[in-house]
Structure 1
Amino acid sequence: MAESVKDVARLAGVSVGTVSNVLNHPDKVAEATVARVQEAIEKLGFVRNDVARQLRAGNSRAIGLLILDVRNPFFTDLARGAEARAAELGHAVLLANSDESSAREADYLDLFEQQRIRGLLISPVGDITGRLHRLRDRGIRSVLVDRPSSDIAFGSVFVDDVAGGEIAVRHLLEIGRRRIAFVGGSLAIRQVSDRLTGARAAVAEHAGASLEVVETAALTVDEGAKAAHALLTRPPADRPDAVFAANDLLAIGMLQVLAGSGDVTIPDDIALVGYDDIDFASAAIVPLSSIRQPAALIGATAVELLLTRTGEAAVVGRASEPTRAVRFQPELVARASTGVR
């Protein structure tokens, strides 16, 4: 393997500067020269040291994407959308999973800062405004994904989760349900608390309706199953007649346990609405009503917004004055879990 660019330049019979241009700006080099340099690279097995190059240049083509839970298909779709758009614009996405852990999130932020990434897309566990300001001072811009930002220093791309919570619970109220449970947590996660805020607003509009909050340790199928088992220990008269789950994974976990219990019929005894409309929602044993988010579009838009904020508006094709926030509207997809067939 070649030790440096000098070996490639020597074999190709060109200057080190020409090799650098072939690696970074091939459009500035004659095709015949590009071919000769690439042949030398292949023959020598040369792999350029991107870390060293970034330290010299002070920037990177890598965009960090830090999400809450890589197991959640919503975030998988979001990451795919971000990766596809970044590739079109000449960048790469480095995916990291906080697993809803503040400590793990902090470790990845340290790593991204050390690597001098081009910018950061993040769905944070809690309030990390101070840390994002520190990254900004180091030249690393941030865009929040799947949640809004109250700080004008950061961009954000998100769905209106308060509206989503209202839509979900309003649907349950419209089909005649009055004892509604909100299942989700941690409430420190902004998306969860916003969906709960919307749910409370919808219930407040209906006399006689109530909202019980069942906080979970995580937003997973297992936690949904635990919540369902807890409901089944209660007498039927003390159970809710509807559940709004903070995401589809929780809803699917609840659905599996409740529908398999032999004690509850979905939706006759308990109607159920999830959030995200992941692929599994329509394929569940009882097709799940859910609030749809455009996950891939959120990821792609976040990449575009980040690059405009790092001075690459011309590459993205957007205005040079960066938009601070992009908000999408949620949509109800009603299925059999709320009686729609």
Structure 2
Amino acid sequence: MKRVGIRDVAERAGVSISTVSNALNRPHMVSERLVARVRSAADQLGYVPLQAAQALRAGRSGLLGMTVINIANPFFADMVAGAEDAASAAGLRVLVGNSSDDIAKERDHLELFERVQVEGALVSPFGPLAPWLDRLRGRGIPVVLVDAVDDAGELPSVSFDDVAGGRLAAEHLLATGRRRLAFVGARQAVRQVRERLEGARQAVAACPGATIEPIWTERTTSARGLAFGEQLAARPPAERPDGLVASNDHLAIGLVHGLIAGGVRVPEDVAVVGYDDIEFAAIAAVPLTSVRQPAREMGRTAAEMLLARISGTAGLDLTDVVYQPELIVRASTAR
């Protein structure tokens, strides 16, 4: 079916194309009678203006780009929602690229942002992206990192103190008398995960007699947690960790179910701490103790920081924001 264009509206209304353009976009330049006539013709034909093309001609796309590591994780979905809150208030929309733990996809999203000329980009990086981010900035597209920091100190960021978060989780387990800890997390290449393990190791190093065992997985889903929980439950009690720190809540919830399926009591035999404090943590079969990250607030703050740079109103106080962890204690660690 042929798309109705401005020429069709002009023919139906019996006016020139320029009159249609003025009536729809600059109605103050034509009479009210002509505006009504043109709009009536547009309604009859079902004409819809190409807003994206109009915006680009005006030098604006009306879009912010945003990449996230894996939107299946509610943490990232909440972060996107926060960015959308701020963008919507400014009359903009957010084009979201879900990397799904795939650096090639992540780079494709950044190239798309460049092609559609987003007004700014929010990037929660999975892998090294310096050349792609440099290209965006070279095009005059400002970039703000989310849930990450720029080691070179060139990009503003909104991040979370993951070393403190990992330390807080492990200290809580140690305070409940656990001494054989394990950290179950995604691949070591992910910076946030490495920092959480580093924090947990700091807590263990300060506690005589305590140990920590890293356990790595390529995917941090509930299904993977379930499998690891069953494997840990199959170990002899003396070789089994008595406290677990998971790198996210999906993994932690799966661990709890796997342990219980294997006949291990949570928290009596093994205590479990998750990370992110997603909505499901509080309503799990065994409510999950978790390190809370304010995901929605982080997304909103990052978008506001980006909007300030787009408008040229950014101040020195908007260079970097680092959020601190909060431990939410529930039944998975409380005897």
CA offset digits 1:199-254 (Å, max 9, x no partner): 11111211211111001112211221222232133221111110000000000111
* Gap change, CA 1:304 and 1:41, over 3 Å in 2: farther
Q: Which moves more between the two structures, 148-157 or 63-72?
A: 148-157
Q: Residues 224-243 of structure 1: matches in 2 within 5 Å?
A: 224-243=225-244
CA offset digits 1:274-319 (Å, max 9, x no partner): 0011111011111100011111111111111111122253xxxxx5
CA offset digits 1:242-279 (Å, max 9, x no partner): 000000000011111112222x1101111100001111
Is residue 331 of structure 1 aligned with residue 312 of structure 2?
no
The match for 1:4 among 3, 6, 9 is 6
Q: TM-score, normalised by structure 2?
A: 0.89
Distance 1:168 1:234 in 2: 23
Q: Is the 8 A contact 2:222 2:254 kept in 1?
A: yes
**Structure 1 residues without counterparts, runs of 5 or longer:** 23-27, 314-318
CA offset digits 1:126-154 (Å, max 9, x no partner): 22122211111122222111222223332
The code of the aligned residue for 2:288 comes to L
Q: Who wins on radius of gyration, i.e. which is larger?
A: 2
Q: Is the 8 A contact 1:82 1:299 kept in 2?
A: yes
Q: Is the 8 A contact 1:152 1:324 kept in 2?
A: no
Where does residue 300 of structure 1 map in the other structure? 300
Distance 2:79 2:35 in 1: 37
Q: Which moves more between the two structures, 58-67 or 95-104?
A: 58-67
Q: Which moves more between the two structures, 249-258 or 68-77?
A: 68-77
* Gap change, CA 1:15 and 1:222, over 3 Å in 2: same
**Structure 2 residues without counterparts, runs of 5 or longer:** none
Distance 1:207 1:82 in 2: 44
The code of the aligned residue for 2:231 comes to A
Distance 1:172 1:8 in 2: 73
Distance 1:68 1:34 in 2: 51
The match for 1:20 among 25, 32, 51 is 25
Task: State the superposition RMSD in angstroms.
Answer: 2.7
Q: Is the 8 A contact 1:221 1:254 kept in 2?
A: yes
Q: TM-score, normalised by structure 1?
A: 0.87
**Deviation of the 1:81 alpha carbon:** 1.6
Where does residue 288 of structure 2 map in the other structure? 288
The alignment-based identity, stated in percent, is 44
Where does residue 112 of structure 1 map in the other structure? 113
Q: Which moves more between the two structures, 67-76 or 35-44?
A: 35-44
Where does residue 42 of structure 1 map in the other structure? 43
Q: Is the 8 A contact 2:107 2:129 kept in 1?
A: no
Q: Residues 149-228 of structure 1: matches in 2 within 5 Å?
A: 149-228=150-229
Distance 1:54 1:108 in 2: 21
Where does residue 244 of structure 1 map in the other structure? 245
* Gap change, CA 1:2 and 1:287, over 3 Å in 2: same
Distance 1:104 1:303 in 2: 22
Q: Is the 8 A contact 1:290 1:333 kept in 2?
A: yes
Distance 2:232 2:216 in 1: 13
The SS at the match of 2:189 is: coil
Q: Is the 8 A contact 1:68 1:100 kept in 2?
A: yes
